[in-house]
Amino acid sequence: MNLINNTLKHHNLRITKVRVEILSLFQTHKKALTHADLEAKYDKKFDRVTIYRTLSSFLENGLLHKIPDDSGVAKYALCHHEGTAHTHDDHHVHFKCKQCEKIECLHTLEIPKLQLPKKYKMENANLLIDGICATCNE
């Protein structure tokens, strides 16, 4: 049993062609992807709706996370702490390059602890940083 299939199983997902292909793509590609990216790649091969549903199932079962972003288009990236469904908390730092437009997760960075105002209870934190990425800053 290979790694991809194993990962799917461990996240309570049945092993199907779309899922294997899309998960593999995320694992090699590393950067955040949109539904449109996937549709462009798998046009003819899989239905648009199937791709939407694949993304949703990955989201629900903790394989992917959604990156907040003001563009209006949902972007997804692999979760790197291997939690099972919904159990992981999302203390993510994401970086969006203004030049190449790519979004990536900065796993090495931690969001510093913050003192919230009274009675506020924090569950998740998402930090989105804009600027120029290392590749574009050569």
Partner DNA sequence: TTACAATTGCAATTATGTTGCAAAAATACC
Partner DNA sequence: GGTATTTTTGCAACATAATTGCAATTGTAA
| Segment lying near a copy of itself (by CB under 8 A), choices 1-9, 12-20, 42-50, 123-131 | 123-131
Figure out which of the listed residues 4, 15, 25, 125 binds a copy of itself, where binding follows CB under 8 A: 125
10 Å CB burial of residue 59 (0-12, 13-18, 19+) is: middle
**Which partner in DNA, a copy of itself, none is near 85 (CB below 5 to 8 A by kind)?**
none
Alpha carbons 50 and 53: distance in angstroms, whole number? 5
Three-state secondary structure call for residue 30:
coil
Figure out which of the listed residues 2, 28, 72, 138 binds DNA, where binding follows CB under 7 A: 72
Strand partners, 94: 105, 128
117: contact with a copy of itself by CB under 8 A = yes
Give whichever of 15 and 109 is closer to DNA, judged by the CB atom.
Answer: 15
First to last CA, the chain: 42
Residues in contact with DNA by the rule CB under 7 A: 9, 13-19, 34-36, 46-50, 52-54, 56-57, 72-74
